[in-house]
């Protein structure tokens, strides 16, 4: 594989020096897709022809000195829950079969304004509900490191695509770990920004108070560039943060001397965390110490309650958000119905998969009369306790380091019959969504030939420190350059 396929920065530099054209980058992405996707099932809709036409325009702009941004002409993939005008969006659900968006999501507008070329959509768990990209009407996606294993979820297709070098960047969304956990499973860098940093306009809602768009890349340098492109205030999203976006690439100073790295003992003593995963993560922390950071012990005493609180809040919000899929306005409508109520019930029952139904049912139950206080309000109170945990911890440290996932990628089918064990895959990631704070997963080695992720969590709107820390780690190690062996 040539250099152009190793990072977004390498692609940017190759374009800038004239050693390759955007058209060649698109051809390379299409070739790589054709070599790998039959095995991976990571990409759902490749816009090969449209992308080639857009690449030609980018090459013309470059020749004329009218570049829109440094990433003009670079291919990028979108998770299949972000809409693009005149293109399908399915959320990996039967209920959105045939849907073609009449408008662009904010992230698509921003990518196009920067001249980036959208290559297509990636496989995901239906409506982003899952941790393995097995809950997909399009079939499971496979992990490039071992095709019998899951690539994580719910943004598994995006993680697998970057791991397999189809593109050097892909967008994902993270509601409880759906960027960080698949990044960990596939050995790539994945960042979930602060809640509200990237507009949710045109992102199909799962749990609105937790959903956040972020990206997958191989390096923190690349993540800084993509985040720079997609972050910023958008008045169409009422939860969008108005604060100015800092220069993320400028934040990569290479210096973390004096940085305090908090180690929550709750995340290292959790029963069920693979000892080899812990070892790799501890080695990663030692690397940060060698770069001048100082490790300090912190406490996140409510960590073990995060998953329970998350599932109550997320399912409650999902039951409300998914009410809009009713067979009337878009997507699947059952045939031969006699009245409106039957149309709703049969369209939804035929259109939604098992996990989505389970979560709608749980969410409807916890919001129903007599149970609201006991479940939903209780979970929101626990959410306050989790936020307070982070406030106390960040009084003592600048970033918090944990394993991203308690284990490496599990086998396909291993957890599909046991919802709780699947949910526990998110034990170290959900708290960041509940507290709204940013988090990044970076590859920190392998266990049994499968990648392990080191998670770094930061203060609200402090993506700069997270990216700087991740970048220093990647300057000192080469885990992010490891690639899966031969994919068919």
What is d(CA 80, CA 91) in angstroms, rounded to the nearest whole number? 5
Residue with tokens 């304004």: 113
Q: Give the ranges where 202-297 is alpha helix by DSSP (H).
A: 220-230, 265-268, 275-290
> Which residue(s) pair with 78 in the sheet?
121
Q: Which stretch binds another protein (CB under 8 A): 138-146, 281-289, 370-378, 465-473?
A: 370-378
Judge whether 368 counts as a catalytic residue: no
Task: By CB under 8 A, tell whether 314 contacts another protein.
Answer: no
Nearer CB in complex with another protein: 71/313: 313
Judge whether 209 counts as a catalytic residue: no
**Is the Cβ–Cβ distance between 433 and 195 less than 8 Å?**
yes
Cβ 470 to another protein, closest distance in Å? Answer: 22
Cβ 41 to another protein, closest distance in Å? Answer: 26
What is the DSSP pairing of strand 170-174 with strand 294-298? Answer: unpaired
Give which of 1, 9, 50, 68 is closest to 28, Cα–Cα. Answer: 1
Of residues 180-209, those binding another protein (CB under 8 A): 194-196, 209
- DSSP structural state of residue 374: I
Give which of 440, 441, 444 is closest to 477, Cα–Cα. Answer: 444
Rounded to the nearest angstrom, the gap between the alpha carbon of residue 287 and the centroid of all alpha carbons in its chain is: 25
Q: Which of 183, 379, 412, 457 binds another protein (CB under 8 A)?
A: 379
Q: Which of 79, 110, 192, 415 is catalytic?
A: 79
Cβ 255 to another protein, closest distance in Å? Answer: 29
Task: By CB under 8 A, tell whether 340 contacts another protein.
Answer: yes
Q: Which of 61, 268, 308, 483 binds another protein (CB under 8 A)?
A: 308
Of residues 71-130, those binding another protein (CB under 8 A): 98-100, 102-103
Task: By CB under 8 A, tell whether 330 contacts another protein.
Answer: yes
Binding mask 450-469 for another protein (x = CB under 8 A): ----------x---------
Do you find a cis peptide bond into 39, omega within 30 degrees of 0? no
**Is the Cβ–Cβ distance between 426 and 131 less than 8 Å?**
yes
What is the DSSP pairing of strand 43-46 with strand 170-174? Answer: unpaired
Of residues 150-179, those binding another protein (CB under 8 A): none
Q: Which of 178, 184, 240, 347 is catalytic?
A: 178
Cβ 370 to another protein, closest distance in Å? Answer: 9
What is the largest distance, in Å, between two alpha-carbon atoms of the chain?
70
For residues 176, 180, 181, 186, the Cα torsion angle rounded to the nearest 10 degrees is 160
Task: By CB under 8 A, tell whether 392 contacts another protein.
Answer: no
Q: Which of 7, 93, 101, 154 is catalytic?
A: 154
Q: Which stretch binds another protein (CB under 8 A): 26-34, 35-43, 332-340, 450-458?
A: 332-340
What is d(CA 231, CA 247) in angstroms, rounded to the nearest whole number? 11
Nearer CB in complex with another protein: 387/483: 387
Binding mask 246-285 for another protein (x = CB under 8 A): ----------------------------------------
Judge whether 240 counts as a catalytic residue: no
Residue 341 Rama label (left phi>0; alpha psi -120 to 50; beta)? alpha
Of residues 341-360, those binding another protein (CB under 8 A): 341-346, 348-349, 352, 357-358, 360
Q: Which of 338, 485, 486, 488 binds another protein (CB under 8 A)?
A: 338
Q: Which of 118, 137, 434, 487 binds another protein (CB under 8 A)?
A: 434
Q: Which of 61, 365, 416, 483 binds another protein (CB under 8 A)?
A: 365
Show contacts of 341-350: CB within 8 Å, 24+ apart.
347/95, 348/95, 350/94, 350/95
Cβ 60 to another protein, closest distance in Å? Answer: 30
Binding mask 7-36 for another protein (x = CB under 8 A): ------------------------------
- Please enumerate in sequence order all residues whose Cβ is within 8 A of that of 137, keeping only pairs 6 or more positions apart, or say none: 90, 92, 93, 94, 97, 126, 353
Catalytic site positions: 79, 154, 178
């Amino acid at each position: 594989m040539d250099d152009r396929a190793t990072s977004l920065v390498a692609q940017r530099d190759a374009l800038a020096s004239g050693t390759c054209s955007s058209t060649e980058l698109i051809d390379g992405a299409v070739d790589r897709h054709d070599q790998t996707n039959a095995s991976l099932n990571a990409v759902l809709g490749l816009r090969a022809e449209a992308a080639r036409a857009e690449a030609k325009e980018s090459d013309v702009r470059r020749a004329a000195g009218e570049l829109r941004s440094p990433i003009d002409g670079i291919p990028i993939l979108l998770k299949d829950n972000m809409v693009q005008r005149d293109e399908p969006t399915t959320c990996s659900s039967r209920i959105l079969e045939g849907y073609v968006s009449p408008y662009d999501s904010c992230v698509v507008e921003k990518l196009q304004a920067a001249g980036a070329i959208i290559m297509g959509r990636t496989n995901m768990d239906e409506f982003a509900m899952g941790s393995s990209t097995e809950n997909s009407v399009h079939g499971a996606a496979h992990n490039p490191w071992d095709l019998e294993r899951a690539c994580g979820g719910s943004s598994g297709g995006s993680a697998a695509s970057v791991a397999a070098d189809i593109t050097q960047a892909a967008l994902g969304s993270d509601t409880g770990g759906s960027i960080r956990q698949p990044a960990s499973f596939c050995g790539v860098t994945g960042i979930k920004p602060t809640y509200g940093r990237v507009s949710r306009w045109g992102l199909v809602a799962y749990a609105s108070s937790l959903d956040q768009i972020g990206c997958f890349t191989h390096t923190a340098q690349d993540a800084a560039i993509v985040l720079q492109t997609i972050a910023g205030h958008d008045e169409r999203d009422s939860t969008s943060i108005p604060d100015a976006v800092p220069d993320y690439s400028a934040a990569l100073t290479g210096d973390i001397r004096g940085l305090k790295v908090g180690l929550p003992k709750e995340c290292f003593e959790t029963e069920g965390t693979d000892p080899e995963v812990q070892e790799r993560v501890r080695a990663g922390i030692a690397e940060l110490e060698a770069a001048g950071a100082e490790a300090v012990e912190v406490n996140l005493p409510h960590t073990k309650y995060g998953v329970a609180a998350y599932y109550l809040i997320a399912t409650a919000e999902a039951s409300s958000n998914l009410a809009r899929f009713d067979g009337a306005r878009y997507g699947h409508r059952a045939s031969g119905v006699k009245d409106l109520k039957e149309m709703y019930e049969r369209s939804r029952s035929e259109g939604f998969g098992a996990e989505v139904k389970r979560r709608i049912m749980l969410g409807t139950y916890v919001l129903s009369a007599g149970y609201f206080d006991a479940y939903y309000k209780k979970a929101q109170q626990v959410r306050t306790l989790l936020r307070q945990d982070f406030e106390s911890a960040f009084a003592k440290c600048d970033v918090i380091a944990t394993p991203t996932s308690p284990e490496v990628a599990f086998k396909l089918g291993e957890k599909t019959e046991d919802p709780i064990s699947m949910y526990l895959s998110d034990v170290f990631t959900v708290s960041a969504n509940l507290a709204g704070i940013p988090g990044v997963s970076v590859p920190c080695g392998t266990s049994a030939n499968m990648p392990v992720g080191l998670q770094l969590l930061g203060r609200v709107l402090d993506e700069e420190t997270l990216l700087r820390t991740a970048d220093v780690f990647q300057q000192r190690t080469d885990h992010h350059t490891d690639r899966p062996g031969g994919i068919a």
